[in-house]
């Protein structure tokens, strides 16, 4: 296999973080280099790197850069990690994975002496990146059981290699199902405003040889009412303990439509995307820039000065979700019981 | 009043049809001139003029041009009208108004002598244009009864001045409600792929001083679940006798979401958009070009060669529609009885 299956979205090198610049896709495959934690934070905000699992690992890599620079310049490494961690959590508020990654790095600061810390952080960050891929492959193993010959699987936004360190969550399931010889097609919603569906998912799947068709977000009802979709499979930015799912804007309405048409609606995400602490009304839905809505690729498509809404995520309630696939199991309702049972088991 | 309320989308002059070039909006207000019926047919196909009521009148104007040219060149006027009528019906299959307009012109050929015919056609076409505006104003009179202070009215595509000869259907209701002193806001879905919502509706409403906000089609579920919409009001391309409504792709899913959130869903259209003859499975849903989906304003947004679907319309079933507003009344369910009763009454 080649293509996106083997590509790494983000990597920590000696003095820098290297990532695929996802704002340039599908036109150019360019790499973007960050030498400071500030540059990593900017890259997350601008969606040069995006996707909940990928930005979690990116945040950890930014902390590793910060720790190294602090040590080199004789500043307090623990204070710098504290500062960078807060900065990373402030970049994008909705995905669970950044806080998860920051907490994981901060734990190291409590248990280890100064001279061990730098080495441990680098090891931990590289481990997190490797674990991300391994978790995605396990999500694939569980999730592919749900895929059948003849399926047409609708997906939204990008939950592929590009949303993770590699392999992908929702799209990882498709990779595994194909490996097992299953024959299916994919339908990708373009996912306005940022067009992750057309720019990233359609690109990633087409490059890797999948049979993928692109639709606008306005066509979901049409394809479902014309029996052209058999399953929905999306990623998640945050999954709460009772099964509420925050994901890319547009996910909720796809779930409502799937429910009306009796089409199974599946969510795939690693345990790092679960948040067992909060209620849904405690989670901020990020409001993104005006320009994302009124222009596309630099071309204005709306009148000057019109009001705009741009929530980047929405909330899908558990009653619309058929199952949630994580690296440990396929979780079925009742979620308020089964999510904790699955995630907290040994 | 000024702005779009008084603007005419399309006009028949001595030897030509003049129309606003809607592909150039919102950047430039340009007029496009057609001297032959073929040019009018092309303008309809390319959506230089669009909107079911507007393309109905455009087709009639194209027939008038054809008749004049035939008479001038010594060709058989009736044969030419027959040919042009068929060509017009072939331009865009889903809207009811083109066939309605062609039939109305063809009726004149049966009742009148050759020397009267040309004059009668011109008179009839101008009458159709004036009637269109009068019908829209009556739709406004009925429909504005449904609008209340504090409403936030979501609309899709463009059912405004630009979709008609003038004043608009759904947006005509908003004009009338404002004239009556009602205070409300409007939310416009951008309506990918052709972006009539952002390019035309947001523009038309903003120019005319309405409080309008633009959202992407993926945000409908979000704004409804956050109680930010109180009513939905859309136009129609074809309404069947049992209340099935063909309208811009994306309408059906908005209706499903409105139903889930107990938000009234209204459709506004003149009697020329009703089709009392056909079942929904007899109506062709136009499939439009590949390029509309994979590029926006000349900018490619998807990988080369990806498969694409581009149905221009979808079908909303009567059980999702709270009421249909035409120039004769507000029609409530049961539609299979009340649509005929309303349209066929004296």
Is residue A2 very low, low, confident or very high in pLDDT (cuts 50, 70, 90)?
Answer: low
**pLDDT at res. B233:** 98
Interface test with B, best of A28, A210, A253 (most B CBs within 10 A): A253
Please give the Cα distance from B69 to A270 (Å, whole number).
69
**What six digits make up the tokens of B343?**
């349209």
**pLDDT at res. A113:** 82
Residue contact B206–A305, C-beta within 8 A:
yes
> Both A81 and A176 in a single domain?
no
Interface test with A, best of B189, B218, B219, B301 (most A CBs within 10 A): B218
Q: Please identify which of the residues A132, A151, A208, A237 carries the catalytic annotation.
A: A237
Residue contact A301–B195, C-beta within 8 A:
yes
- When pLDDT is averaged across residues A155-182 and rounded to a whole number, the result is 98
> Both A176 and A118 in a single domain?
no
> Both A167 and A289 in a single domain?
yes
**pLDDT at res. A47:** 98
> Both A177 and A266 in a single domain?
yes
- When pLDDT is averaged across residues B213-238 and rounded to a whole number, the result is 98
Domain membership of residue B99 (yes or no) is yes
Which residue in the set B206, B299, B311 is minimally distant from A299, CB to CB? B299
Bridge-based pairing of strands A212-215 and A185-189 is parallel
How high does pLDDT run on average in chain B?
Answer: 96
> Both A96 and A205 in a single domain?
no
Measuring CA to CA, how many Å separate B260 from each of A194, B179, B268?
A: 27, 32, 21
**What six digits make up the tokens of B271?**
């009697």
Domain membership of residue A2 (yes or no) is no
* CB-CB neighbors (< 8 A) of B261 in chain A: none
Q: How many contacts, defined by CB atoms under 8 Å, are there between A and B?
A: 187
> Both A252 and A310 in a single domain?
yes
Which has the closest alpha carbon to A54: A39, A40, A71? A40
Bridge-based pairing of strands A295-296 and A299-300 is antiparallel
Q: Please identify which of the residues B132, B208, B237, B314 carries the catalytic annotation.
A: B237
* CB-CB neighbors (< 8 A) of B213 in chain A: 306-309
Is pLDDT above 90 for A70? yes
CB atoms within 10 A of CB A279: 11
Q: Which of A111, A137, A163 is the last residue of a domain?
A: A137
Is pLDDT above 80 for B346? no
Is residue B153 very low, low, confident or very high in pLDDT (cuts 50, 70, 90)?
Answer: very high
> Both B150 and B249 in a single domain?
yes
DSSP sequence for B296-334: ETTEE-S-TT-EE--B-EEEE-GGG-SEEE-SS-EE-S-
- When pLDDT is averaged across residues B165-192 and rounded to a whole number, the result is 98
CA distance A165 to chain B (A): 22
Domain membership of residue A61 (yes or no) is yes
CA distance A239 to chain B (A): 17
Domain membership of residue B5 (yes or no) is no
The DSSP code for B152 is E
Instruction: Report pLDDT digits (tens) over B118-140.
Output: 999 999 999 999 999 999 999 99
CA-nearest residue of chain B to A299? B297
Read off the CATH number of the domain in which B180 is found: 3.40.50.10470
- When pLDDT is averaged across residues A324-341 and rounded to a whole number, the result is 98
Helix (H, G, I), strand (E, B) or coil at B34: strand
> Both A117 and A263 in a single domain?
no
- When pLDDT is averaged across residues B269-296 and rounded to a whole number, the result is 96
> Both A20 and A49 in a single domain?
yes
Is pLDDT above 60 for A43? yes
Domain membership of residue A276 (yes or no) is yes
Measuring CA to CA, how many Å separate A39 from each of A19, A35, A42, A58, A106?
A: 12, 7, 5, 11, 20
Q: Which of A93, A119, A137 is the last residue of a domain?
A: A137
A21 is catalytic: no
**pLDDT at res. B294:** 96
* CB-CB neighbors (< 8 A) of B308 in chain A: 213-215
Instruction: Report pLDDT digits (tens) over B307-332.
Output: 999 999 999 999 999 999 999 999 99
In percent, how much of chain A has pLDDT > 90?
94
DSSP sequence for A212-263: EEEE-GGGHHHHHHTT--SEEEE--SEEETTS-EEEETTHHHHHHHHHHTT-
A288-324 CB burial, b ≥16 within 10 A, e <16 = bebebbbbbeeeebbbeebbbbbbbbbbbebebbbbb
DSSP alpha helices (H): ranges in B46-169?
Answer: 52-72, 77-91, 97-111, 114-143
Please give the Cα distance from B226 to B213 (Å, whole number).
15
**pLDDT at res. A1:** 43
* CB-CB neighbors (< 8 A) of A202 in chain B: 302-303, 306
Which has the closest alpha carbon to B46: B91, B16, B8, B11? B91
Positive or negative, the Cα torsion across B115, B119, B122, B128? Answer: negative
Domain membership of residue A27 (yes or no) is yes
CA-nearest residue of chain B to A28? B303
Is pLDDT above 60 for A318? yes
C-alpha of A164 from chain center: 6
Residue contact A212–B250, C-beta within 8 A:
no
CB atoms within 10 A of CB A44: 26
**pLDDT at res. A4:** 78
> Both A200 and A335 in a single domain?
yes
Is residue B281 very low, low, confident or very high in pLDDT (cuts 50, 70, 90)?
Answer: very high
Read off the CATH number of the domain in which B118 is found: 1.20.120.420
Q: Which of A137, A168, A185 is the last residue of a domain?
A: A137
**pLDDT at res. B2:** 59
> Both B68 and B132 in a single domain?
yes
How high does pLDDT run on average in chain A?
Answer: 96
Is pLDDT above 70 for A141? yes
- When pLDDT is averaged across residues A91-97 and rounded to a whole number, the result is 97
Measuring CA to CA, how many Å separate B233 from each of B172, B247, B330?
A: 11, 12, 13
Which residue in the set A214, A298, A306 is minimally distant from B299, CB to CB? A298
CA distance B226 to chain A (A): 10
Interface test with A, best of B253, B258, B299 (most A CBs within 10 A): B253
* CB-CB neighbors (< 8 A) of B249 in chain A: 216, 218-219, 222
Cis peptide before B342 (omega within 30 of 0): no
**What six digits make up the tokens of A227?**
């029996």
**What six digits make up the tokens of A198?**
């057309």
* CB-CB neighbors (< 8 A) of A187 in chain B: 309
Classify the phi-psi angles of A158: left when phi > 0, otherwise alpha if psi is within -120 to 50, otherwise beta.
beta
Which has the closest alpha carbon to A241: A129, A322, A331, A305? A331
Instruction: Report pLDDT digits (tens) over A256-297.
Output: 999 999 999 999 999 999 999 999 999 999 999 999 999 987
**What six digits make up the tokens of A259?**
């429910």
- When pLDDT is averaged across residues B79-105 and rounded to a whole number, the result is 97
CA-nearest residue of chain B to A156? B218
The DSSP code for A323 is E
Which residue in the set A195, A305, A306 is minimally distant from B301, CB to CB? A195
CB atoms within 10 A of CB B71: 16
CA distance B77 to chain A (A): 42
ipTM value of the model? Answer: 0.97
**pLDDT at res. B1:** 44
| Rounded (to 5) percent helix, strand, coil in chain A | 45, 15, 35
Domain membership of residue B3 (yes or no) is no
Please give the Cα distance from B31 to B34 (Å, whole number).
10
Helix axes B77-91, B114-143, angle to 10 degrees: 30
Domain membership of residue B2 (yes or no) is no
Domain that holds residue A314: 146-345
Is residue B108 very low, low, confident or very high in pLDDT (cuts 50, 70, 90)?
Answer: very high
- When pLDDT is averaged across residues A35-44 and rounded to a whole number, the result is 98
Is residue A115 very low, low, confident or very high in pLDDT (cuts 50, 70, 90)?
Answer: confident
Which residue in the set B202, B298, B314 is minimally distant from A306, CB to CB? B202
CA distance B302 to chain A (A): 5
The DSSP code for B210 is -
* CB-CB neighbors (< 8 A) of A193 in chain B: 216, 218
**pLDDT at res. B5:** 75
Is pLDDT above 80 for A148? yes
Contacts of B281 (CB under 8 A, 6+ apart): none
Which has the closest alpha carbon to A292: A196, A164, A203, A162? A196
DSSP sequence for B253-287: HHHHHHHHTT--EEEE--GGGEESS--GGGSPPPB
> Both B232 and B271 in a single domain?
yes
Domain count across chain A: 2
């Amino acid at each position: 296999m080649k293509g996106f299956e083997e590509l790494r979205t983000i990597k920590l090198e000696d003095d820098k973080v290297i990532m695929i610049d996802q704002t340039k896709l599908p036109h150019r495959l360019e790499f973007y280099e960050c030498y400071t934690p500030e540059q990593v934070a900017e890259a997350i905000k601008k969606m040069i790197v995006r996707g909940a699992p990928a930005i979690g690992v990116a945040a950890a890599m930014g902390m590793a850069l910060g720790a190294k620079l602090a040590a080199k310049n004789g500043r307090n490494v623990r204070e710098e990690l504290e500062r960078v961690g807060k900065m990373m959590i402030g970049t994008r508020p909705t995905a669970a994975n950044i806080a998860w990654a920051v907490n994981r790095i901060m734990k190291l600061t409590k248990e280890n002496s100064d001279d061990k810390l730098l080495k441990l952080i680098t090891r931990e960050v590289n481990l997190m990146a490797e674990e991300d891929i391994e978790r995605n492959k396990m999500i694939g193993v569980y999730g592919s059981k749900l895929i059948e010959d003849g399926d047409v699987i609708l997906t939204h936004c990008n939950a592929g290699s590009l949303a993770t360190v590699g392999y992908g969550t929702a799209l990882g399931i498709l990779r595994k199902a194909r490996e097992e010889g299953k024959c299916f097609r994919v339908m990708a919603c373009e996912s306005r405003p940022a067009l992750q569906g057309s720019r990233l998912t359609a690109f990633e799947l087409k490059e890797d040889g999948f049979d993928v068709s692109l639709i606008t977000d306005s066509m979901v009802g049409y394809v479902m009412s014309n029996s052209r979709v058999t399953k929905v499979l999306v990623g998640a930015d945050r999954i709460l303990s009772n099964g509420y799912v925050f994901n890319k804007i547009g996910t909720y309405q796809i779930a409502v439509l799937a429910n009306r048409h009796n089409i199974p609606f599946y969510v795939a995400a690693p345990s790092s995307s679960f948040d067992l602490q909060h209620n849904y009304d405690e989670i901020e839905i990020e409001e993104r820039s005006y320009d994302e809505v009124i222009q596309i690729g630099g071309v204005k498509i709306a009148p000057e000065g019109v009001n705009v809404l741009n929530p980047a995520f929405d909330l899908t309630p558990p009653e619309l979700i058929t199952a949630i696939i994580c690296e440990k199991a396929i979780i079925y309702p009742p979620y308020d019981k089964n999510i904790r049972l699955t995630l907290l088991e040994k």
